[in-house]
Structure 1
């Protein structure tokens, strides 16, 4: 019998764990000659998530496993840990909040076994129930990243996907500290298909993804998969230099032809602040790339497991 490893990152999801397990177990009945391996990753939760996982594992020792981090390392670290620990012929990445419909696993497996795809992912065709500002910036991110990056990222794509063992092994070889899984899934290539579905609300609990966390995550994606911001910084500097040069020529010609100059400390201070702002903006872009290089050079572990079963 073939095995599917389910990787489920959890952060403060004590309410969802038993609901998720019961729902997926019901779907499992639809899959013939397939066994499941549950790999829960407790990403440093502060509630009773770990207790729920211990209880669940004690009842299902043969196919439920968990890894509890020593602190919150982030979802990317949790995904990487799950991929490393998985042993199935196929590996699925799922969110525990059931916004990823477990019933799609049936169609995903069919896409790999019968249609010959290496990856079958999911894509939301609507963002019903999501704050409008989040939907707007999400759409803006995908338009931007696909313009400035060679790695195509399909709008609305979720981390929820089923992959062959060959794909998972390839992803694990991408051993970088600053990870952006959506980009890595696309970057490794392989034959991919996406299943479309309507947005599903959380069944219980609250999301830990605030607007600013998502914004920061988007910036990481842009920096990890494009050097366009560095080019923007360079062009901004060149443009500022040309404008300044034209201004100097204008002042010299006016002095020679008209004589004198117009007093204006306010305009001078404004120009100084404008140029200074451009410089700080460019330094910030360069600093982001240098910061990523700094973290990579430290070679720290991506996560530390405190408890596992």
Structure 2
């Protein structure tokens, strides 16, 4: 029998897990198994240091279906990227699927993904949202801005609205696992490795339970990490801003000296001097912050700490 491994990161999702399992099983039994009976499902739930009854729920699910359901429980919260990596490490399937447990990734798309990989011979079938309904306007605007910006400055192009939800062949999974970097941005990694990829579009789905654990600032920090991980253009931009500031300062100096030579030395205003000083100081700190961010990433990589620590597996 061949396997389809489904990787499901979980953080405080005790109510969503049974609903997710039931929904995927229904699609598998009614649509996938009749067409591809040689494939069986393997679930890998990754408990990302949950503080509710997520682990207890997973243990109960393992008792219910020990042949197909497995889990990895982290010693603390390491983040979704670490959970995805752990899932990819443990998955043994010929095909591997990454899904969110809240059912915003529709299981109904799984048969189309199977067809795309097995019939159309794609290596990856991903999905992207057609819209971002029920999201704050500022989040939707920032998301579009992020995709536009990173595709402008990076050689790795990321599909607008792409989700982590995707089906991959074993060759693709092995390629991702060959990059054990500590600072991970999976959307970029999935795009960077290449392979023949197709995207399916779908309407935005609401969560079936609980609430999102991603705040606006979490998303901003995640976006900054993505830019830094896949482009060095911000460093060039910082250098460019420094050069422009230097040219402006030289021009201002020439203007001041010329004015004093032609018209004498009128008393200048302190407010304008303070404003210019603060502007240049802020620009320097901004550029220093960009450089510091890259240095901090290199520092974390050099430590070679594990991406996650597992305290329990079944």
State the TM-score bracket (shorter-chain normalisation).
Answer: over 0.9
1: CA distance, partners of 2:261 / 2:211:
69
Q: Residues 250-304 of structure 1, C-alpha deviation per residue, up to 9 Å, x if partnerless?
A: 1111122111133211111111111100000000100110010000000000000
Give the corresponding residue for 1:157.
162
Give the corresponding residue for 2:289.
284
Identify which of 131, 153, 157 aligns with 1:148.
153
Give the corresponding residue for 1:247.
252
Q: Name structure 1 gaps, 5 residues minimum.
A: none
Q: Does 1:87 align with 2:95?
A: no
Identify which of 52, 62, 67 aligns with 1:57.
62
Give the corresponding residue for 1:211.
216
Residue 213 (structure 1) shift: 0.5
Give the corresponding residue for 1:194.
199
Instruction: Map residues 218-237 of structure 1 onto 2, 5 A cutoff.
Output: 218-237=223-242
Q: Residues 190-249 of structure 1, C-alpha deviation per residue, up to 9 Å, x if partnerless?
A: 000001100000011111011110111000000001111111100110000000001111
2: CA distance, partners of 1:267 / 1:131:
39
Deviates more, 1:253-262 or 1:55-64: 253-262
1: CA distance, partners of 2:109 / 2:137:
26
Give the corresponding residue for 2:32.
31
Q: Name structure 2 gaps, 5 residues minimum.
A: none
Q: Does 1:109 align with 2:114?
A: yes
Deviates more, 1:67-76 or 1:56-65: 56-65
Q: Residues 22-47 of structure 1, C-alpha deviation per residue, up to 9 Å, x if partnerless?
A: 11110111213210000000000000
Residue 91 (structure 1) shift: 0.2
Deviates more, 1:258-267 or 1:208-217: 258-267
1: CA distance, partners of 2:267 / 2:116:
73
1: CA distance, partners of 2:226 / 2:218:
12
For the aligned residue pairs, the C-alpha RMSD in angstroms reads 0.7
Runs of 4 or more, structure 1, over 3 Å off, are none
2: CA distance, partners of 1:53 / 1:307:
11
Report the secondary structure of 2:32's partner residue: coil
Identify which of 41, 49, 54 aligns with 2:46.
41
Report the secondary structure of 2:199's partner residue: strand
Report the secondary structure of 2:258's partner residue: helix
Q: Residues 159-186 of structure 1, C-alpha deviation per residue, up to 9 Å, x if partnerless?
A: 0000000000000001111000000000
Report the secondary structure of 1:128's partner residue: coil
Identify which of 258, 272, 278 aligns with 2:277.
272
Report the secondary structure of 1:216's partner residue: helix
